[in-house]
Amino acid sequence: MREYRRESKGFIILLYLFSFFLLWEWIRPLETITDTGNVYLFVLFIFMSLALYIFNNRRGIDIILKIFFILFSIHHLYFHQSLLHLSWVESFISNLFHNLKRLFAGNWDLLSGEFRSLLFFILLWLITYLLKYWLTVRRNIFIFFIMTVMYITVLDTFTPYHGEWPIVRTMVIGFTLLGVLYFKRLSEQNRVANSKNNWFKWIIPLAIMISLCNLFALVAPKADAIWPDPVPYIKAHVGKDKQNGRGFGINTIGYRSDDSRLGGPFRGDNTVVFKVKAPSRQYWRVETRDTYTGKGWITTRNIPSESVFSGSQFSTSLGDYLVEKSKRAKADISMRINSQTAVYPYGLLSIVLKSDMEKFTINGSTDKITLSSVEPNKALSDYSVIYNVPLYSMKELKARPEQEFIPPPEYLKLPKLLPKRVHDLAEKITKGKDNEYDKAKAIEAYFQTNGFVYDQRNVAVPGQAQDYVDQFLFNTKRGYCDNFSTSMVVLLRSVGIPSRWVKGYSGGDYVDTVDETYKIYNVTNNNAHSWVEVLFPNVGWVPFEPTIGFSNNAIFQDDEKNNPAASTSSDEEMQKKQTQNKQKQQDFDRGTTTQAEKFSFKAEWNKAINYIKLHWLRFIIILLLIVLGIWYIYWKRSKWLPFYLVHHYRKKKDPDTFSKAYLSLLKQLERYGIQKQKDQTLREFAKYVDSFFETNVMRELTEHYEKIIYRGQEPSGKWNETRELWENLIKKTSG
């Protein structure tokens, strides 16, 4: 074989070793995303197959060894008899025929483990053969490299497998293989000898480039994900979840019955759900949830439902435990959508329809009220609600129960896999508080600061192994009412306070004033909302509002010092903060800022200084990389500068262009290592340059230059005549 085709054993081993590590990246995720065990056997088979391609030239021995390894592995995994006992072989062959029938019949889920393992070994055998073909014949592994990158990125996106370091390893190995094989192709095409000098000229710059690129990628600042979770977006174009009717993409805001999977972005919807005539704006309940799963909410309590006729009083706890000064009120509701579910205020006493013969069913587990009409599928239209305006006693809220209070266990239950740092955060927030009300208010206030942002668009969806609340509290701090309310319930339960998640609608948009008592509000899908209720032993369920931009409409009576008031000073401060946050959010949506938030150079400068202090090491590394990069470019200027000079002078038409180009050529020859001596004439130097490059170009260029010097002017058209000669010579100095 000719010298340029001759390959050392070390070079072949290096190629196959890198290929082995590249193929290993395909095997690593199997234990994470599937129930595959004993992965080491497949890795050993890959290693053995590639090693046989290197050290064995006899195909028969190669095949026999591979078959023996496959049979040995299947016996080791699935059979308990001795390897020399042939009964397992008979059982395996019988199993093989049965599985072939299932395979051709399309019953793939019935394939046995032995057969699946055999198919996987055969697949790996084919892949290793393809690797041999790509390495030794095609000298190009680009297809396999791209497939590996896509494989890792897809698994990292759609499965629990983390591909941060695998993708780094793949890029290093892949680019190294591509660079080495490209040089090998070039040397074979141009019949260049495989000398160590040629190899070093290629490998060293390649290694430096790959190392610098990967080092820069590792230490450089990385932006947060713009697309929190692509799965919902993709599934949105495929269709909707048929099981629960909820779309997986950018859902439209509104009330939904399934809350088992929370998260993801929403788009607004101004569709009016109902119109209400009421004394004031207030929250409208629909139903509650008791069990948090780590991804969303479900109902696990099983309490019998109750039927109540129109106009009859409800026996729910919604109107209980209110102080005597609660006043009775009425609201008229006109539904604008086809629904049998009633919306109702706190303190509900009764629902009145035009017909007293109509009945309502109250779900004892969720407090959901639905119309049970004699007419099938009849929807609610117009109805009235009678209720007591909630007025909660601060004294009772902070008082300790006279008897031991044991709440239903569902209202304290948390997922077993809830991260410990959620419990630690709840303890930290409530530290120093001696009653449940103050603890609840502390947790409610926690969300008004500490970097939380209300957002319906850029909202993440937790991964398969990620907790919804933990992600919001510690990673994103960005979301809407579901994020805030669910997180507050989990924090409350973490410190032993019984609580539940409530969903319904916020107060709506003001439309008109009817008289001194009543106002009209439109409640749209944009008002769909969720909040928190806390169970107090002496009072009952009390609403709390943690979501930024929303305020709690409940009235608290400060009767601890016999000083009735609509709210405590702390509540006033809370509402003030909420109003400020709501104003900020509205300003953000309109693209405006308040006077206090206008641009301040000093504030931005301080932010920049603080950021540099926190990431000083990263900045130093980046600065060093930049300096090294500039130094390397300057060091190699003799390689790239000739091409720049060619481009620079190509379109010049000035009278002195030739003189400048000739002097640039002398400077470039000096950088190349051919320097004119002090006692040397230009003609002598030109003769030496021509002998070095085996041309006559330099002498001809020098003659033209001397004529210009002696005559004092450059003949017109000379640069166009000599430009090509000058370009050819100066390009030779880039080698």
Residue with tokens 């064995």: 56
Encode pLDDT of 581-627 as tens digits: 555 444 444 444 444 444 456 666 666 666 666 666 777 778 888 88
The pair of structure tokens assigned to 79 is 């059979």
User: pLDDT class for 223, splitting at 50, 70, 90?
Assistant: low
- Give me the chain's average pLDDT, please: 80
Mean predicted confidence (pLDDT) in 122-142:
89
pLDDT at 190: 66
Residue with tokens 């174009």: 237
Q: Is residue 123 pLDDT above 50, yes or no?
A: yes
Round to whole Å and give the CA distance between 170 and 25: 8
Find all residues with CB under 8 Å of 685, minimum gap 6, and list them. Answer: 676, 677, 698, 702
- Structure tokens of 304? 């019998």
**CA separation for the pair 712, 158 (Å, rounded):** 75
195 vs 370, higher pLDDT: 370
For residue 530, give the H/E element and its range.
strand 528-536
Judge whether 393 and 536 are in contact, CB under 8 Å. no
pLDDT score, position 566: 41
pLDDT of residue 22: 93
Number of Cβ within 10 Å of residue 611's Cβ equals: 12
pLDDT band at 2 (very low <50, low <70, confident <90, very high): very low
Residue 717: pLDDT over 80: no
pLDDT of residue 231: 56
What's the helix, strand, coil split of the chain in %, to 5?
50, 15, 35
CA dist., res. 687 & res. 685, Å (int)? 5
Of 686, 709, 707, residue with least CA distance to 698: 686
| Whole-number pLDDT of residue 247 | 41
> Lowest mean pLDDT: which of 331-340, 402-411, 485-494, 528-537?
402-411
DSSP one-letter code for 5: G
Q: How far apart are CA 713 and CA 602, in angstroms?
A: 60
- Among candidate residues 257, 272, 433, the one with its CA nearest the CA of residue 340: 257
Rounded alpha-carbon distances, angstroms, from residue 566 to 535, 549, 571, 653: 21, 20, 9, 87
Q: Which stretches of 464-544 are DSSP H helices?
A: 468-470, 481-494
DSSP code per residue over 433-456: --SHHHHHHHHHHHTTSTT-EE-S
Q: What is the pLDDT of residue 563?
A: 47
Q: How confident is the model at residue 502 (pLDDT cuts 50, 70, 90)?
A: very high
pLDDT tens-place string over residues 274-314:
999 999 889 999 999 999 999 999 998 888 888 787 766 66
- Higher model confidence: residue 221 or residue 701? 701
Helix (H) or strand (E) holding 274: strand 272-278
Q: Are 65 and 52 in contact (CB under 8 A)?
A: yes
Which comes out higher in pLDDT, residue 693 or 321?
Answer: 693
Which stretch of 321-330, 519-528, 670-679, 700-709 has the lowest confidence by average pLDDT? Answer: 321-330
- Whether the per-residue pLDDT at 252 is higher than 80: the answer is no
Residues of the chain above pLDDT 90, percent: 25
Give 187-192's long-range contacts (Cβ < 8 A, gap of 24+): 187/4, 188/4, 188/5, 188/139, 191/2, 191/4, 192/4
Confidence (pLDDT) at 594: 43
Instruction: Please tell me the predicted confidence (pLDDT) of residue 698.
Output: 87
Residue 538 or 665, more confident: 665
CA distance 424 to 420: 6
pLDDT at 680 > cutoff 70: yes
- Among residues 727, 663, 658, 657, the alpha carbon closest in space to that of 697 is found at 727
Query: What is the rounded CA–CA span in Å between residue 712 and residue 525?
Result: 87
Residue 102 burial (CB < 10 Å; 0-12/13-18/19+)?
Answer: middle
Q: Cα(237)–Cα(471) distance, rounded to whole angstroms?
A: 26
d(CA 138, CA 144): 12
Q: What angle do CA 143, 145, 149 make, to 5 degrees?
A: 115
Residue 712 confidence (pLDDT): 64
Residue type, 55: F
Q: How many angstroms separate the first and last alpha carbons of the chain?
A: 29
Q: What is the enclosing helix (H) or strand (E) of 275?
A: strand 272-278
pLDDT single digits (tens) 74-118 = 888 888 777 777 778 888 888 888 888 888 877 777 788 888 899
pLDDT in tens, 418-473: 999 999 999 999 998 888 999 999 999 999 888 898 988 788 888 878 899 999 99
Look at residues 279, 255, 253 and name the one whose alpha carbon lies nearest to residue 265.
253
Mean pLDDT value across residues 557-569: 54
- Is the pLDDT confidence value at 144 over 60? yes
What is the pairing mode between strands 555-557 and 391-393?
parallel
The amino acid at 202: W
CB 299 within 8 A of CB 329: no
Phi-psi region of 371 (alpha: psi -120 to 50; beta: other; left: phi over 0): beta
Q: Which residue has the tokens 């947060």?
A: 224
Q: Which two tokens stand for residue 199?
A: 């190899």
How many contiguous H segments (helices) and E segments (strands) does the chain have?
23, 21
C-alpha to C-alpha distance for 254 and 337, rounded to whole angstroms: 12
Whole-angstrom Cα distance, residue 585 to residue 75?
A: 66
Q: What is the mean pLDDT of residues 675-685?
A: 84
Contact (CB, 8 A) for 667 and 676: no
The confidence score (pLDDT) of residue 497 equals: 93
The residue type at 707: K
Domains of the chain (ranges, CATH numbers): 3-194 (no CATH), 408-506+529-597 (3.10.620.30), 636-732 (no CATH)
Predicted pLDDT at 480: 92
